[in-house]
Structure 1
Amino acid sequence: MTKANISKAQLVEQLMLWKNKQISAEQLQDWMVSHYDPDEVDIGLGECEWTIEAMNIVMNEYEIAKLDKFRQENAQLAIDFIDTDESRFNQTRHLFLQDGFRD
């Protein structure tokens, strides 16, 4: 049996829709909840290790965070984190986790 796969492009597309106010935070979270299941779905199949890790972190954070903590104005931080190279991984992760959500 073949597992489903969430591609980097699919995840970035959802984040862009939210960033551009084409979907709500609730719709973004619903997509994460519906699609993020690491035991059942491959995340970023064929991508490099740090991209897969970034995708997992982004999807997990948007899946579990309270909606009123989402910062749509900083959605680009999630996209930058997913698109980063290995040398900037820790920096972009820190920015996403610190500024992507309200305290």
Structure 2
Amino acid sequence: MSDPCRLSPPPPFLLGDAARVSLVIAGPDGAHADPISLTLRTLNPQGAATTLRYPDDAAIVRDALGHYHADIVLTQPGTWYWRWQSGHPSLGVAEGRITVQPSRFDPE
């Protein structure tokens, strides 16, 4: 994977934000490539895991050859973890975390 991941909007994240986790996949020659399989796993601050698989889950969006993104709705304050994993022919993984600050306002 090249230029593996970007987050938008840039941190800090607030409770209720949606964090866009973007991924660019490239082969050893630097050419962008689509994997046969792509998985995004998230772990919320309470330890609950979610797994999304492309192309089965529409939440993972293919923007262009080798370019993907998914939006993670941040429903709890604390630290969230994410992990992209691509399958053949462009094997690779990328991991990161998102820190979510609580809101100063009561939920409506």
Q: TM-score, normalised by structure 2?
A: 0.27
- Judging by fraction of residues, say which structure has more strand: 2
Q: Indicate the structure (1 or 2) with the bigger Cα radius of gyration.
A: 2
Higher helix share: 1
